[in-house]
Structure 1
Amino acid sequence: MLSVSDAEGVILNLVQPLDQQRDIEIIDLLAADRRIISTPVTSKLDFPHWDNSAMDGYAVRYEDVQHSSDAQPTGLEIIAEIPAGYQPQSTVKAGQAARIFTGAVMPMGANTVVMQERTRREENRVFILAAPQPQEFVRHKGAFYQAGKQLLPRGVKLNPPEIAVLAAAQCTKISVYRRPRVAIFSSGNELVTPDKPLQPGQIVDSNQYALAALVKEAGGEPLLLGIIPDNPDALRDAIAYAITHADIVLSSGGVSVGDYDYIDQILESLGAKIHIRSVAISPGKPLTVATFPTDNSPIYFGLPGNPVSALVTFWRFVQPAIKKLSGLAGGWEPKFLKVRSHDQLKSNGKWETYIWGSLHLIDGVYEFYKAGGSYSSGNLINLAQTNALAMLPVGKSLIAPQAEVQVLQVS
């Protein structure tokens, strides 16, 4: 049985990011939200595109106004008014100024902007009441970015700020990695779909729905294969299909040591190399991780059938794997925060234990609240609204209320 950290290391070493040439798509910018850039982006534009004003005020020559004060204001002739979007037609000469607005192009001759609050206007003259700094409130062409340089590197996720940058740079077609394909199926004779009436002993398959949602959230594309009965031939057919159509395969159930747990032996019969069979984690000890000697080298994750265990093992092990596979340059490793625990937390101390609940900001400090109600890995109901998992390391059986605890944010 591997430790959690060793299992994480094995999994992340197995994952190879998508290919930078073969696994790409060219998509419209409006469809690029949350996608991963596959090729560094450059722009033909400078930012700012031209010298412009950062303030409503007056464009002046610094040498004309450098000694201005409220007691001895400098009077200048106003020769033009320059709104945003207008190309100035006049040149500011000695003793002159141009009325200018935020974002407007600086006129020739002017090198400084005096904000309007430090001026007094009388008809076509303006009086400067305070000396500005040289080039004050002037945004110079190329000060933020120079055309032709790298604007965004490969491996960046396109969140709204990056989308805005690309739109401003007139990059309307973007090269991105395709979404990782993740095949999902549930194993078990007792399982039925949510639309079927329950017979005695049957269980609704919630795992497929939860895992599909989690895969989408991690940036993957789920391929749903449904419920596969505890039949070796049916399972073999499902796995053989999945490994030829997906980058990652997720099954839930059938990886423990019961009489109907066939997954591991079927994987071996298909030529898989099993890297992990169980992990010292609670919930979620039975975890199979395997690879296949095929061209696309899919990674197989056999998750526990218990819904809570399936979600915890996904958050801890599968989510980072999908993120790394997707082409992200970094940030795919699980990240833990040190916060305060509102409740007493317990474990047996033998395994790394994850307790689900939620983070709340209390008086400027994050606190972890354990999920309420009956607390067991069989209670899927109190998993609702979970956004964090508190982690008790091996050897730690108790965390007192208000003591520090490490938590893994999961949403």
Structure 2
Amino acid sequence: MLSVSDAERLIFDAVRPLHPERNTEVVNLLDATGRILAASVSSKLDFPHWDNSAMDGYAVRFDDVKACSDSEPTILDVIEEIPAGTPPQKTLQPGQTARILTGSMMPEGADTVVMQENTRREGDSVAVLVPPEKPGQFVRRCGSFYQAGNPLIEGGVRLQAADIAVLAAAQATKVRVFRKPRVAILSTGSELVSPEDHLQPGQIVDSNQYALASFLAALGMEPLRVGIVEDNPETLKYSIAEALNWGDVVVSTGGVSVGDYDYIDRILEQLGGDLLVRSVAIKPGKPLTFAQFPKQRALYFGLPGNPVSALVSCWRFVKPALLKLAGLHRGWEPVFVNAKTRVELRSGGGRETYLWGQLLATETGLEFEIPGGSFSSGNLINLMQTNGCARLPVGTKRVEIGETVSVLWVDTPVSHLG
């Protein structure tokens, strides 16, 4: 049985990101949200595109107004007004100014903006009452944010709203992104039935297909629901072989423990899989299988059938592996944060233990609490709204109320404490 750190290393080292040339596609910018950029993007435009005003006020020559005061204001002739989106028509000469609005292009001859609160308008002239602190005050210089030709956004990042805004401003209406990794999902177990079926005594509703499909879609993957596969070696072997031929990754639940009907590890070896992980010293989620298939260039995760254990395994191992595979350069690793626990946390101490619950943002920092009711891996109900899992290392049996605990950040944003 491997330690969590050893299992993590073996899994993450085996993951190779999608090839940036063979596994990309070009999409419209409005379809790129959440996608991972495959190549750096540059722009032919400077940002700002031209010198412009950061304030509503007056474009001036610094030398004209540097010595003014409230008692001895500088009087300037207003020669034009420059609305946003309209280029200036005149060049400022000594003693002249132009009315300018935020974002408007600076006129030739002007090097500074005086905010309107520091002026007094008098017909076709304006009195400047407060001198600017330095030349160039309230002027955004052309190219001061970004210079044309340089990388604007590096490849390997997940595109978010702010990134889309920058690309739109750069007139990059199409971008090259990594294709979505294909992930096949199958549930093993003759006792399983679909949520649409009538439940008979002794049967179990297969919630794992739905949980994993949702989990994968939220990560930006392309899930394929293979469905329920009965505990029959030949049927399982056929279904897994088909899934390996289709998917970059196959994720199954059930059949990886040591029971009479747990066939997964044996089948993976028969299909040519290199089994790197068979079990991990983690709770929940001890029976975890990970294999790589060089021929199909595919990876396989065999998760426990217990829905709680399956999701904890996904958060701890599958999520970072898939994000690395998808081409994310940074930020694919598991994220742990420190939080004060609101409740006493307990563990047997023999395995690295993960207790699911909620991270809460308070005025004094992050806090963590576990749900009420029966707290066990068999209780799927209290897994709802989980956004963090407290990690208790091997040998730690108790964390007292108010003590700091390391928490695996499962989801964002952090809940806000009202």
TM-score normalised by the chain length of structure 2: 0.97
Could you tell me how far apart the structure 2 residues matched to 1:377 and 1:119 are? 69
Partner of 1:115: 115
Partner of 1:227: 228
Percent of pairs identical after alignment?
59
Runs of 4+ in 1 over 6 A off after TM superposition: none
Check if 1:383 corresponds to 2:383.
Answer: yes
Partner of 2:54: 54
Could you tell me how far apart the structure 2 residues matched to 1:143 and 1:338 are? 38
Amino acid aligned to 2:241: A
Amino acid aligned to 1:194: P
Could you tell me how far apart the structure 2 residues matched to 1:156 and 1:361 are? 26
Q: Secondary structure at the match of 1:327?
A: coil
Shift of 1:220: 1.0
Q: Deviations over 1:217-261 (max 9, x none)?
A: 222110110000000111001110111111110000000000000
Could you tell me how far apart the structure 2 residues matched to 1:362 and 1:153 are? 34
Q: Give the 5 Å matches for 1:184-263.
A: 184-263=185-264
Could you tell me how far apart the structure 1 residues matched to 2:327 and 2:378 are? 35
Q: Secondary structure at the match of 1:185?
A: strand
Shift of 1:122: 0.6
Partner of 2:45: 45
Q: Deviations over 1:114-161 (max 9, x none)?
A: 000000111011011111121111111111111111000110110111
Partner of 1:393: 393
Could you tell me how far apart the structure 2 residues matched to 1:352 and 1:219 are? 29
Q: Secondary structure at the match of 2:200?
A: coil
Partner of 2:415: none
Instruction: Please list every run of 5 or more consecutive structure 2 residues that lacks an aligned counterpart in the other structure.
Output: 412-418
Shift of 1:363: 3.3
Could you tell me how far apart the structure 1 residues matched to 2:360 and 2:40 are? 38
Check if 1:19 corresponds to 2:39.
Answer: no
Q: Give the 5 Å matches for 1:11-410.
A: 11-132=11-132, 133-294=134-295, 296-410=296-410
Could you tell me how far apart the structure 1 residues matched to 2:147 and 2:283 are? 52
Q: Deviations over 1:287-337 (max 9, x none)?
A: 00011131x411100000000000000100000000000100111110100
Could you tell me how far apart the structure 1 residues matched to 2:405 and 2:89 are? 65
Shift of 1:362: 3.0
Decide whether the 8 Å contact of 1:219 with 1:322 is kept in 2: no
Aligned residues: 410
Check if 1:3 corresponds to 2:7.
Answer: no
Could you tell me how far apart the structure 2 residues matched to 1:364 and 1:91 are? 55
Q: Secondary structure at the match of 1:267?
A: helix
Shift of 1:81: 0.4
Could you tell me how far apart the structure 2 residues matched to 1:326 and 1:292 are? 18
Could you tell me how far apart the structure 1 residues matched to 2:274 and 2:48 are? 55
Shift of 1:17: 0.2
Decide whether the 8 Å contact of 1:251 with 1:302 is kept in 2: yes
Could you tell me how far apart the structure 1 residues matched to 2:69 and 2:135 are? 15
Decide whether the 8 Å contact of 1:255 with 1:262 is kept in 2: yes
Decide whether the 8 Å contact of 1:7 with 1:279 is kept in 2: yes
Q: Deviations over 1:82-124 (max 9, x none)?
A: 0100011111100000000000010111111000000011101
Amino acid aligned to 2:264: I
Q: Secondary structure at the match of 2:11?
A: helix
Shift of 1:186: 0.1
Decide whether the 8 Å contact of 1:184 with 1:208 is kept in 2: yes
Could you tell me how far apart the structure 1 residues matched to 2:381 and 2:198 are? 20
Decide whether the 8 Å contact of 1:184 with 1:226 is kept in 2: yes
Could you tell me how far apart the structure 2 residues matched to 1:117 and 1:201 are? 78
Could you tell me how far apart the structure 2 residues matched to 1:351 and 1:337 are? 20
Q: Secondary structure at the match of 1:264?
A: helix
TM-score normalised by the chain length of structure 1: 0.99
Q: Deviations over 1:160-216 (max 9, x none)?
A: 110100001000000000011100000000000001111010000000100111111
Could you tell me how far apart the structure 2 residues matched to 1:66 and 1:175 are? 50
Alpha-carbon RMSD: 0.7
Amino acid aligned to 2:192: L
Amino acid aligned to 1:202: Q
Could you tell me how far apart the structure 1 residues matched to 2:157 and 2:367 are? 31
